Amino acid sequence: MPAPGLPARLSVAIVTYRCDAALLERALRSLARASARARRDQQLRDEVALHIIDNGPADSRAALGRALAAWDAAQGKLTLHSGHGNVGYGRGNNLVLASLGSDAHLVMNPDVELDEGALGAALGSLARHPSVGLVAPAVNGDDGSCQFLCKRYPSVWVLFLRGFAPSAVRKRFEPALAHYEMRDVIGERFVERVPLASGCFMVVRTALFKRLGGFDPRFFMYFEDYDLSMRVGREAAIAYVPEARIVHHGGEAARKGLRHVAWFVASAWRFFRRHGWKLA
Protein backbone atom coordinates (compact mmCIF):
# COMPACT_ATOMS: atom_id res chain seq x y z
CA MET A 1 0.00 0.00 0.00
CA PRO A 2 1.11 3.61 -0.50
CA ALA A 3 1.91 5.81 2.48
CA PRO A 4 -1.04 6.53 4.82
CA GLY A 5 -3.39 9.10 3.36
CA LEU A 6 -2.37 8.48 -0.25
CA PRO A 7 -4.76 6.85 -2.76
CA ALA A 8 -4.22 3.20 -3.67
CA ARG A 9 -3.99 1.40 -6.99
CA LEU A 10 -6.62 -1.34 -7.32
CA SER A 11 -6.92 -4.51 -9.35
CA VAL A 12 -10.06 -6.65 -9.50
CA ALA A 13 -10.57 -10.29 -10.48
CA ILE A 14 -13.93 -11.91 -11.26
CA VAL A 15 -14.07 -15.60 -12.16
CA THR A 16 -17.08 -16.60 -14.27
CA TYR A 17 -18.56 -19.89 -15.47
CA ARG A 18 -21.78 -19.72 -17.48
CA CYS A 19 -22.71 -16.84 -15.22
CA ASP A 20 -26.03 -15.06 -15.14
CA ALA A 21 -25.40 -12.22 -17.61
CA ALA A 22 -27.90 -9.89 -15.93
CA LEU A 23 -26.26 -10.34 -12.54
CA LEU A 24 -22.80 -9.78 -14.00
CA GLU A 25 -24.01 -6.57 -15.66
CA ARG A 26 -25.29 -5.32 -12.31
CA ALA A 27 -22.03 -6.30 -10.63
CA LEU A 28 -19.93 -4.41 -13.18
CA ARG A 29 -22.11 -1.30 -13.09
CA SER A 30 -21.92 -1.23 -9.29
CA LEU A 31 -18.15 -1.74 -9.42
CA ALA A 32 -17.80 1.18 -11.83
CA ARG A 33 -19.91 3.43 -9.58
CA ALA A 34 -17.92 2.42 -6.49
CA SER A 35 -14.64 3.03 -8.36
CA ALA A 36 -15.72 6.49 -9.41
CA ARG A 37 -16.79 7.31 -5.84
CA ALA A 38 -13.51 6.02 -4.35
CA ARG A 39 -11.57 8.17 -6.81
CA ARG A 40 -13.62 11.25 -5.92
CA ASP A 41 -12.99 10.53 -2.23
CA GLN A 42 -9.24 10.20 -2.97
CA GLN A 43 -9.07 6.60 -1.80
CA LEU A 44 -8.29 5.33 -5.30
CA ARG A 45 -5.79 6.52 -7.86
CA ASP A 46 -5.25 5.56 -11.48
CA GLU A 47 -7.65 3.34 -13.37
CA VAL A 48 -8.88 0.04 -11.99
CA ALA A 49 -7.26 -3.00 -13.62
CA LEU A 50 -10.26 -5.32 -14.08
CA HIS A 51 -9.67 -8.98 -14.96
CA ILE A 52 -12.52 -11.26 -16.02
CA ILE A 53 -11.40 -14.89 -15.90
CA ASP A 54 -13.90 -17.00 -17.81
CA ASN A 55 -13.76 -20.70 -16.96
CA GLY A 56 -16.73 -21.42 -19.21
CA PRO A 57 -16.92 -23.04 -22.64
CA ALA A 58 -16.84 -21.12 -25.90
CA ASP A 59 -20.61 -21.40 -26.40
CA SER A 60 -21.21 -19.19 -23.36
CA ARG A 61 -18.87 -16.43 -24.54
CA ALA A 62 -21.46 -14.43 -26.50
CA ALA A 63 -23.65 -13.83 -23.44
CA LEU A 64 -20.56 -12.97 -21.44
CA GLY A 65 -19.50 -10.43 -24.05
CA ARG A 66 -22.85 -8.66 -23.84
CA ALA A 67 -22.56 -8.49 -20.05
CA LEU A 68 -19.04 -7.06 -20.24
CA ALA A 69 -20.37 -4.14 -22.26
CA ALA A 70 -21.80 -2.86 -18.98
CA TRP A 71 -18.33 -1.96 -17.72
CA ASP A 72 -17.55 1.75 -17.81
CA ALA A 73 -14.23 1.91 -19.67
CA ALA A 74 -13.57 5.31 -18.10
CA GLN A 75 -13.02 3.52 -14.78
CA GLY A 76 -10.28 1.23 -16.07
CA LYS A 77 -9.08 -1.38 -18.52
CA LEU A 78 -10.97 -4.68 -18.74
CA THR A 79 -8.96 -7.75 -19.69
CA LEU A 80 -10.77 -10.99 -20.55
CA HIS A 81 -8.93 -14.26 -19.90
CA SER A 82 -10.60 -17.22 -21.60
CA GLY A 83 -10.01 -20.48 -23.41
CA HIS A 84 -8.28 -22.23 -20.50
CA GLY A 85 -11.29 -24.35 -19.53
CA ASN A 86 -12.85 -24.91 -16.13
CA VAL A 87 -9.73 -24.88 -13.97
CA GLY A 88 -11.60 -24.10 -10.74
CA TYR A 89 -12.14 -20.93 -8.73
CA GLY A 90 -8.78 -20.64 -7.01
CA ARG A 91 -6.67 -21.59 -10.02
CA GLY A 92 -8.71 -19.22 -12.18
CA ASN A 93 -8.01 -16.32 -9.84
CA ASN A 94 -4.33 -17.21 -9.81
CA LEU A 95 -4.06 -16.87 -13.60
CA VAL A 96 -3.65 -13.10 -13.16
CA LEU A 97 -1.47 -13.25 -10.05
CA ALA A 98 1.88 -12.64 -11.72
CA SER A 99 0.60 -9.61 -13.66
CA LEU A 100 -0.80 -7.69 -10.68
CA GLY A 101 0.89 -4.34 -10.08
CA SER A 102 -1.64 -2.87 -7.67
CA ASP A 103 -1.54 -1.95 -3.99
CA ALA A 104 -4.82 -3.72 -3.20
CA HIS A 105 -6.58 -6.55 -5.01
CA LEU A 106 -10.32 -7.23 -4.95
CA VAL A 107 -11.57 -10.77 -5.45
CA MET A 108 -15.32 -10.76 -6.08
CA ASN A 109 -18.06 -12.99 -7.42
CA PRO A 110 -20.11 -12.09 -10.49
CA ASP A 111 -23.26 -12.23 -8.32
CA VAL A 112 -22.50 -9.35 -5.94
CA GLU A 113 -23.42 -5.68 -6.09
CA LEU A 114 -21.34 -3.01 -4.38
CA ASP A 115 -22.69 -0.11 -2.43
CA GLU A 116 -21.28 3.10 -3.90
CA GLY A 117 -19.04 3.62 -0.87
CA ALA A 118 -17.85 0.01 -0.53
CA LEU A 119 -14.48 0.33 -2.27
CA GLY A 120 -13.56 3.57 -0.56
CA ALA A 121 -14.40 2.10 2.84
CA ALA A 122 -12.29 -1.00 2.21
CA LEU A 123 -9.30 0.89 0.84
CA GLY A 124 -9.54 3.48 3.59
CA SER A 125 -9.43 0.76 6.23
CA LEU A 126 -6.29 -0.73 4.71
CA ALA A 127 -4.69 2.73 4.68
CA ARG A 128 -5.60 3.47 8.32
CA HIS A 129 -4.75 0.05 9.74
CA PRO A 130 -1.30 -1.21 8.69
CA SER A 131 -1.87 -4.43 10.63
CA VAL A 132 -4.84 -5.36 8.43
CA GLY A 133 -4.06 -7.49 5.39
CA LEU A 134 -7.55 -8.35 4.20
CA VAL A 135 -10.95 -6.61 4.41
CA ALA A 136 -14.32 -8.37 4.54
CA PRO A 137 -17.56 -6.44 3.86
CA ALA A 138 -21.00 -6.21 5.39
CA VAL A 139 -23.25 -8.45 3.28
CA ASN A 140 -26.99 -8.46 2.68
CA GLY A 141 -29.09 -10.87 0.66
CA ASP A 142 -31.70 -10.10 -1.98
CA ASP A 143 -34.32 -9.56 0.72
CA GLY A 144 -32.15 -7.16 2.70
CA SER A 145 -31.39 -9.65 5.46
CA CYS A 146 -27.87 -9.83 6.87
CA GLN A 147 -25.65 -12.62 5.54
CA PHE A 148 -23.08 -13.49 8.19
CA LEU A 149 -20.18 -14.45 5.93
CA CYS A 150 -17.40 -13.79 8.42
CA LYS A 151 -16.86 -17.01 10.34
CA ARG A 152 -15.09 -18.62 13.24
CA TYR A 153 -13.20 -21.86 12.64
CA PRO A 154 -15.83 -24.49 11.77
CA SER A 155 -16.47 -27.97 13.05
CA VAL A 156 -17.62 -30.83 10.85
CA TRP A 157 -20.91 -30.81 12.76
CA VAL A 158 -21.64 -27.12 12.23
CA LEU A 159 -20.87 -27.36 8.51
CA PHE A 160 -23.35 -30.23 8.22
CA LEU A 161 -25.96 -28.25 10.13
CA ARG A 162 -25.55 -25.13 8.04
CA GLY A 163 -25.33 -26.80 4.65
CA PHE A 164 -27.44 -29.92 4.76
CA ALA A 165 -29.58 -30.32 7.93
CA PRO A 166 -33.38 -29.80 7.80
CA SER A 167 -34.62 -26.48 9.13
CA ALA A 168 -36.05 -28.07 12.27
CA VAL A 169 -32.65 -29.50 13.17
CA ARG A 170 -30.89 -26.23 12.40
CA LYS A 171 -33.32 -24.38 14.66
CA ARG A 172 -32.55 -26.74 17.55
CA PHE A 173 -28.84 -26.02 17.24
CA GLU A 174 -29.16 -22.31 16.45
CA PRO A 175 -26.67 -21.22 19.17
CA ALA A 176 -23.90 -23.27 17.55
CA LEU A 177 -24.64 -21.79 14.14
CA ALA A 178 -24.80 -18.25 15.56
CA HIS A 179 -21.39 -18.71 17.20
CA TYR A 180 -19.89 -20.00 13.93
CA GLU A 181 -21.35 -17.02 12.03
CA MET A 182 -20.01 -14.52 14.59
CA ARG A 183 -23.47 -13.06 15.14
CA ASP A 184 -22.37 -11.82 18.55
CA VAL A 185 -19.84 -9.38 17.05
CA ILE A 186 -20.74 -8.75 13.39
CA GLY A 187 -22.89 -5.66 13.03
CA GLU A 188 -22.23 -1.95 12.73
CA ARG A 189 -18.76 -1.77 14.24
CA PHE A 190 -15.28 -2.45 12.89
CA VAL A 191 -13.92 -5.88 13.90
CA GLU A 192 -10.19 -6.34 13.38
CA ARG A 193 -9.74 -10.02 14.24
CA VAL A 194 -11.94 -12.14 11.96
CA PRO A 195 -10.77 -15.76 11.55
CA LEU A 196 -12.37 -16.54 8.16
CA ALA A 197 -13.60 -14.32 5.31
CA SER A 198 -15.73 -15.14 2.28
CA GLY A 199 -14.27 -15.22 -1.21
CA CYS A 200 -17.41 -13.62 -2.65
CA PHE A 201 -15.77 -10.27 -1.84
CA MET A 202 -12.38 -9.75 -0.22
CA VAL A 203 -9.94 -6.87 -0.59
CA VAL A 204 -6.40 -8.02 0.15
CA ARG A 205 -3.05 -6.26 0.05
CA THR A 206 -1.61 -7.32 -3.29
CA ALA A 207 1.92 -7.84 -1.99
CA LEU A 208 0.61 -10.20 0.69
CA PHE A 209 -1.64 -12.04 -1.78
CA LYS A 210 1.28 -12.59 -4.14
CA ARG A 211 3.64 -13.62 -1.35
CA LEU A 212 1.16 -16.29 -0.27
CA GLY A 213 0.85 -17.56 -3.83
CA GLY A 214 -2.81 -16.58 -4.08
CA PHE A 215 -5.37 -19.32 -3.59
CA ASP A 216 -4.34 -22.95 -3.18
CA PRO A 217 -5.28 -24.43 -6.58
CA ARG A 218 -5.90 -27.84 -5.01
CA PHE A 219 -9.28 -26.49 -3.87
CA PHE A 220 -11.35 -26.71 -7.04
CA MET A 221 -14.33 -24.99 -5.43
CA TYR A 222 -15.30 -24.18 -1.82
CA PHE A 223 -12.98 -23.58 1.14
CA GLU A 224 -10.27 -21.91 -0.94
CA ASP A 225 -11.29 -18.66 0.76
CA TYR A 226 -11.12 -20.21 4.24
CA ASP A 227 -7.71 -21.67 3.43
CA LEU A 228 -6.47 -18.27 2.24
CA SER A 229 -7.91 -16.64 5.37
CA MET A 230 -5.96 -19.04 7.57
CA ARG A 231 -2.73 -18.25 5.74
CA VAL A 232 -3.37 -14.50 5.73
CA GLY A 233 -4.12 -14.66 9.45
CA ARG A 234 -0.63 -15.91 10.22
CA GLU A 235 0.84 -12.67 8.84
CA ALA A 236 -1.84 -9.99 9.18
CA ALA A 237 -5.28 -9.24 10.57
CA ILE A 238 -8.54 -9.82 8.71
CA ALA A 239 -10.96 -6.96 9.36
CA TYR A 240 -14.72 -6.71 9.03
CA VAL A 241 -15.59 -3.21 7.75
CA PRO A 242 -19.34 -2.48 8.05
CA GLU A 243 -19.14 0.59 5.79
CA ALA A 244 -18.02 -1.69 2.93
CA ARG A 245 -21.50 -2.92 1.98
CA ILE A 246 -22.47 -5.38 -0.73
CA VAL A 247 -25.49 -7.43 -1.79
CA HIS A 248 -24.79 -11.11 -2.43
CA HIS A 249 -27.10 -13.16 -4.63
CA GLY A 250 -25.38 -16.53 -4.04
CA GLY A 251 -26.71 -19.78 -2.55
CA GLU A 252 -25.59 -22.78 -0.55
CA ALA A 253 -23.88 -25.85 -2.01
CA ALA A 254 -26.73 -28.19 -1.07
CA ARG A 255 -29.07 -26.18 -3.31
CA LYS A 256 -26.87 -26.51 -6.40
CA GLY A 257 -26.95 -30.27 -7.05
CA LEU A 258 -24.89 -33.34 -6.28
CA ARG A 259 -21.78 -32.17 -8.12
CA HIS A 260 -21.50 -29.13 -5.88
CA VAL A 261 -22.14 -31.24 -2.81
CA ALA A 262 -19.27 -33.53 -3.86
CA TRP A 263 -16.95 -30.54 -4.37
CA PHE A 264 -17.99 -29.13 -1.00
CA VAL A 265 -17.27 -32.38 0.84
CA ALA A 266 -13.93 -32.94 -0.92
CA SER A 267 -12.79 -29.39 -0.19
CA ALA A 268 -13.90 -29.60 3.45
CA TRP A 269 -11.86 -32.79 3.82
CA ARG A 270 -8.78 -31.06 2.38
CA PHE A 271 -9.29 -27.98 4.58
CA PHE A 272 -9.53 -29.97 7.81
CA ARG A 273 -6.57 -32.18 6.91
CA ARG A 274 -4.46 -29.08 6.34
CA HIS A 275 -5.60 -26.88 9.22
CA GLY A 276 -6.84 -29.34 11.84
CA TRP A 277 -9.97 -31.37 12.52
CA LYS A 278 -12.75 -30.10 14.74
CA LEU A 279 -15.64 -32.52 14.97
CA ALA A 280 -18.13 -30.64 17.16
What CATH number is attached to the domain comprising 92?
Answer: 3.90.550.10
What amino acid occupies position 188? E
Q: Tell me the one-letter amino acid at 85.
A: G
pTM score of the predicted model: 0.95
Measured in whole angstroms, the distance separating CA 180 from the mean position of its chain's CA atoms is: 18
Residue type (1 letter), 237: A
- Helix (H/G/I), strand (E/B), else coil: 241: strand
| pLDDT above 80 (res 266) | yes
Q: What is the dihedral of CA 178, 121, 72, 77, to 10 degrees?
A: -100
* Closest-CA residue to 86 (of 14, 13, 15, 28): 15
* pLDDT given at position 252: 53
Express as a percent the part of the chain with pLDDT over 70: 96
Residue 5's pLDDT band, with cuts at 50, 70 and 90, is: low
pLDDT at position 7, please? Answer: 87
Q: What is the pLDDT of residue 255?
A: 54
Provide mean pLDDT across the span 43-48: 95
Tell whether 208 is covered by a domain: yes
Q: Could you give the CA distance from residue 229 to residue 223 in angstroms, rounded to a whole number?
A: 10
Q: Range of 77's domain?
A: 10-275
CA 134 vs. chain centroid, Å, equals 10
Residue 143 is assigned to a structural domain of this protein? yes
Residue 251 has pLDDT above 90, yes or no: no
- Note the pLDDT tens digit of each residue in 69-126: 999 999 999 999 999 999 999 999 999 999 999 999 999 999 999 999 999 999 999 9
User: Is residue 53 one of the residues assigned to a domain?
Assistant: yes
Q: Is residue 119 part of a domain?
A: yes
Please check the confidence at residue 4 and state whether its pLDDT lies above 80: no
Residue 228 belongs to a domain: yes
**Is position 3 within any domain?**
no
In a domain, 1, yes or no: no
Helix (H, G, I), strand (E, B), or coil: what is residue 13? strand
Residue range 275-279: mean pLDDT, rounded: 96
Q: Please check whether residue 4 lies inside any domain of the structure.
A: no
Overall number of domains in the chain: 1
Q: pLDDT at residue 139 above 90?
A: yes
What is the pLDDT at residue 203? Answer: 98
State the chain's mean pLDDT as an integer. 95
